Amino acid sequence: MIPSGQRHHWMDALRGAAVLLVALWHAFSIPYRETPPGIEWAFDFLSVYRIPLLMFLSGLLLDHSLSKPVSAYVGGKLRRIAWPLLVWSLVLILIAWRAAKPDSVGFWFGEDSHLWYLGVLLVCYAIGFLTRWVHPVVFLIVGVPAMELVQTENWLINSTLWFGLFFFAGATMSRWLAWWLARGPVLPSIALLAASAWAAYSATVHGYAPVAHWRPLAFSLAGVIGLVWFAARMRRARWLEWVGQRSIVFYVAHVPFIWIVTVLAVGSLPPPVTYALVLVVTGAGCWMLARHLAGSILFVFPRLPVRRRPEAAGEPLATPPGS
């Protein structure tokens, strides 16, 4: 388990890099139906790392979250995941009301939008509560054959069976993290090279990396675990850490910016100018929100004031300032 109060800055940097890759992918894939071939290949290659890395990092911190009281665990996930999911689902209705489907339950879990990740993450944290009594590796052992065998039309079940495996792999790895980081470079290098070779092959042959099979799962996990080893040894990238600490802002807000610029620019400007405008507006908009409003009600539900009863008659409800 990652010690309470100990912050691994490389985790913030990896999270920041992953969320920026997601935003960049959408910046090139949303404005036009066809992404430039070289760029499309690069993002197909990176699909082995993007969301799997985000899920894995969340799993790494599961034990730390579970060390808190149950009310804090549940409240934290509702305030910091369920709330922005709700708020930005409403934003999507406002800016894309013709395409939104608010009458569908799936819509409120992010179906057909980039917010699906938050819906899946919520389900993973709900299941993850059981790791108080069951080792997370059990969910991996059960989840791999379930991912292969379960065939359903429910996107939330399918996505949880796939991306949830990365979450519980991270939860399992958290108990071996110190051991892994103490290894030499040979195994991490082999893992990263094997995953990258698979990613190149998959991007060339399949396009976007296939899911719901053990082979892409194994290679993607190897790549993520290899990245963790190398990231822990790299020089600090404070700007990436800053993005990672505010990753929810960049994740939920980037698509609305992209969509608005796309509506205004596509058809009136040439593609290179449109892409440049999308990148500038989205980057600046997300930065401004993260800089000034990251702690606002747009991204986190405020803590409700709790009145405490005095333990004894005459005891003050709060310690006076300066005492």
By residue count, the chain amounts to 323
Res 317: pLDDT: 40
What residues form DSSP beta bridges with 266? 269
Assess if residue 174 is contained within a domain: yes
Is 56 among the domain residues?
yes
Query: Is residue 128 assigned to a domain?
Result: yes
- Identify residue 113 by its one-letter amino acid code: S
- pLDDT interval class at 84 (50, 70, 90): very high
Quick check: 323 pLDDT over 50?
no
**Residue whose entry in the numeric block shows the structure tokens 């730390």:** 64
Residue numbers of the domain that contains 132: 9-292
Question: Rounded mean pLDDT of 93-113?
Answer: 85
- Note whether residue 318 is domain-resident: no
Residue 187: partners with Cβ closer than 8 Å, 6 or more residues away: none
Give the chain's mean pLDDT. 90
Q: Provide the domain count of the chain.
A: 1
Is 312 inside any structural domain?
Answer: no
How does DSSP classify residue 69?
-
Sign of the four-CA dihedral 152, 156, 159, 162: negative
Does this model's pTM top 0.85?
Answer: yes
**Residue 301, in any domain of the structure:** no
Does some domain include residue 191?
Answer: yes
- Under the banding of pLDDT at 50, 70 and 90, the label for residue 316 is very low
How would residue 101 be classed by pLDDT, with cut points 50, 70 and 90? confident
pLDDT of residue 197: 95
Residue 88 lies in a domain: yes
